[in-house]
Chain A
Amino acid sequence: MSSQAGIDPRAWLCWAGAALLVPLMGRNPFALASVLLAVLAVREALPPEARAGWSWVIRLGLVFGAISVLFNLLTVRAGNRVIVSIPESVPVLGGDLTVNSVVFGLLGGLAVLTLVLIGITLSAVLDWSAMLRLLPQSLTGAGVAGSVAFSFFPQMVATYREVVDAQAVRGEELRGPRDYLGLAPLLLSGGIERAVTMSELLESRGFGGAPPRRRSAWIKLCPASGLAAICVAVYGFAAGELVQALVAGAAGMGLLVVTVLASRGSDVRRTRYRSLVWQRTDWIVLLGALLAVGTVILTGRDALRYEPYPVLVWPDASLPLTIGLLCLLGPVVAILWRERAR
């Protein structure tokens, strides 16, 4: 069973991981624009049902972007391009308002919008139940918690859509903030209902049904320690500490391998009605993601960096980096390929 777009969830995860690198690592406007446009194109290639209902999240991202610009402009006093000087006697706001801070705020907003778009694209297309089945037995608990957490937002969006449709049928339209306030209890109760349904479904399928096996305290610590080490590795990579990142990544992977080995021969035997099949189109998505990551590594972190302080300078425009990042269009190729094959 694949996602709505017919692409394996593992390929989607690799794609999202590659796309997240740029907005997390730098503020180069050309690199950010490359990823943003690639993600927008992927969203446009998705089936209409996967895109519906998310526009308000995008609007929310735009609002946060605007707040980022305003906050930066009013709080940062560095830069060589002064727009206007507010007298020092004015509390908090006194000082020079600079173009540099506006540029940095805009780039921050662009990065936030890109992250939001990647997140909602992944939430819309990923089959979380299939992802859960891919996890080793010992990580099931963490997987269930993660799955519930990740699927909460898409489920809330679905509930919102249902409520709005139902009210529209009754001739009611959401106009002011007061109307939206009335939605809160409905969204909350809908979310709780779905969570209860999901937990019952998981229970009926044997997730957490069997008594836990006796394991040493060290083995019990392995999954959490492994995940923590991998988080440290990701942070180290983003912060440019490659050696520490490699060490933490290797330690994390080692701990997870120990966890998987220790969980062999579990009491609960899970069965699958339909297994995931890795297809040719999934290779396209995976290859695109790997090429994008490879380009980022080869061009170096400096190509992704851009600092408008203290002097506003022109950012670097790297054609190889742009082309490499546009390999994130892999899902577009895969979706169009599948459509043509039908």
Chain B
Amino acid sequence: MLLPVIGSFLPIDLVAQEPVSYAGIVIRPGDGTITYVYVPLDEPVSGIELLRRSGVSLVTIGFGAFGEGVCQIQETGCDVGTCRKNVCQTGGRESPYWRYFQVNETGAWAASPLGASGSRVEPGDIDGWSWSPDEPLLPEIEISEIPMLARAGDELDTAHVARYDANGSLIGGAPSEGVELTSYLAVTVVLSGVAVLALVLRFRRQASI
């Protein structure tokens, strides 16, 4: 009986659609791969904080009141010295750097007017990081796709990261392909042989004493 009363006080958005308690990050390092990140989120945070919570390897430097600059995400970027001088840019028009984007109301990627330290990311938002001089070149995506693409599975209370190559195949997943399994098996057999050799040598020595 009380439910309709409580429902009347809820915001329209919450009634209309199920709220999400996570945010997403899409990372494009410019080598053809795309990384999708699932980050559990219950409160608004800055873009930098979201990256930190993702567990993705990150190098940033502080610019005082301007916040932090992103030098390196995963293995792409530049060292701290270069980053401090020109945030990884070499001076040319086509020189890439880590550009920060957010999905706008129309679902398109738009360069964030604020830096990642000053931006506000809420649950349900998607941040984009592209190693690019201008265009985002990030795939269009909806927030509901993030858990699946980041391989979150049922573990929705921890961050998940999944990287895909240019063909859309998962990089660094379980060794499901035949070649990898064969390699694992072959190496294990060879190493077991060496372990047996060590044991034989040990027993041989003990027998000779």
Q: Which residues of B contact A322 (CB under 8 A)?
A: 187, 190-191
Whether the Cβ atoms of A326 and B194 lie closer than 8 Å is: yes
- Write the nearest CB–CB distance from A186 to chain B, whole angstroms: 28
CA distance A319 to B184 in the complex (A): 8
Contacts of B174 in A (CB 8 A): 314
A41 lies within 8 A of B172 (CB): no
Contacts of B54 in A (CB 8 A): 310
Of residues 163 to 200 in B, which have CB atoms within 8 Å of A's CB atoms?
A: 163, 172-175, 180, 183-184, 186-188, 190-191, 194-195, 197-199
Closest Cβ neighbor of B173 among chain A residues: A313
Q: Interface extent on B, as a size class?
A: 20 to 34
Known A37-B198, A80-B160, A310-B54: A319·B183 in contact at CB below 8 Å: yes
Q: Which stretch, B61-69, B93-101, B107-115, B201-209, touches the partner chain A? A: B201-209
Instruction: Report the contact-size class of chain A (Cβ under 8 Å from the partner).
Output: 20 to 34
CB atoms of B187 and A30 under 8 A apart: yes
B56 at the interface (CB under 8 A from A): yes
Q: Kindly provide the distance from the CB of B63 to the nearest chain A CB, expressed in whole angstroms.
A: 24
Write out the residue numbers on chain B whose beta carbons fall within 8 Å of the beta carbon of A30. Answer: 187, 191
**B55: interface (CB < 8 Å):** yes
> Cβ of B180 and Cβ of A317 under 8 Å apart?
yes
In the complex, what residue of chain B is closest to A319 when comparing beta carbons?
B186
CB-based contact A44/B205 at 8 Å: yes
B57 within 8 A of partner (CB) = yes
Q: Say if the beta carbon of A113 comes within 8 Å of chain B.
A: no
Q: Is the interface of B mostly helix, strand, loop or mixed?
A: helix
CB-CB < 8 A to B197: which residues of A?
Answer: 41, 329, 332
Contact A37 B195 (CB under 8 A): yes
Q: Which residues in chain B, 110-158, are within 8 Å of chain A measured between CB atoms?
A: 158
The distance from the CB of B204 to the nearest CB of chain A, in whole angstroms, is: 8
Q: Is B159 an interface residue (CB 8 A)?
A: yes
Which one of A45, A82, A96, A311 has the highest number of Cβ atoms from chain B below 10 Å of its Cβ? Answer: A311
Q: Does B161 contact A (CB under 8 A)?
A: yes
Tell me which residues across on chain A come within 8 A of B55, comparing CB atoms.
Answer: 78-80, 309-311
Please name all residues of chain B whose beta carbon is closer than 8 Å to the beta carbon of A310 when the two chains form the complex.
Answer: 54-57, 161
A268 in the interface, Cβ–Cβ < 8 Å?
no
The answer to whether the Cβ of A75 comes within 8 Å of any Cβ in the partner chain is no
- B185's nearest neighbour on chain A, judged by CB, is A317
Cα distance A156–B139 when bound, in Å? 65
Given A34-B191, A40-B198, A79-B55, also A48-B172 (CB < 8 A): no
Contact bitstring A150-174, B, C-beta under 8 A = 1, else 0: 0000000000000000000000000
Chain B residue contacts of A81, Cβ below 8 A: 158
In the docked arrangement, what's the CA distance between A81 and B153, Å? 12
Interface digits, A35-68 against B, CB 8 Å rule (1 contact, 0 not)?
Answer: 0011011001100100000000000000000000
Q: Is the CB of A311 within 8 A of B194?
A: no
The residue on B at minimum CB distance from A47 is B205
Partner of A41, one of B56, B186, B194: B194
Chain A contacts for B163, CB-based, 8 A: 311
Given contacts A44-B201, A313-B172, contact A329 B194 (CB under 8 A): yes
- Determine which residue in A40, A80, A309, A332 has the highest number of CB atoms from chain B within 10 A of its CB, and name it: A80
Q: A19 to nearest B CB, angstroms?
A: 14
- Answer whether A80 and B161 are a contact pair too, CB < 8 Å, given A48-B209, A314-B172, A317-B184: yes
Rounded to whole Å, the gap between the CB of A85 and the closest CB of chain B is 9
Which A residues are CB-close (under 8 A) to B198?
A: 37, 40-41, 44
- Which 7 interchain pairs have the tightest Cβ spacing? A313-B172, A44-B201, A310-B55, A41-B198, A37-B194, A317-B187, A317-B183
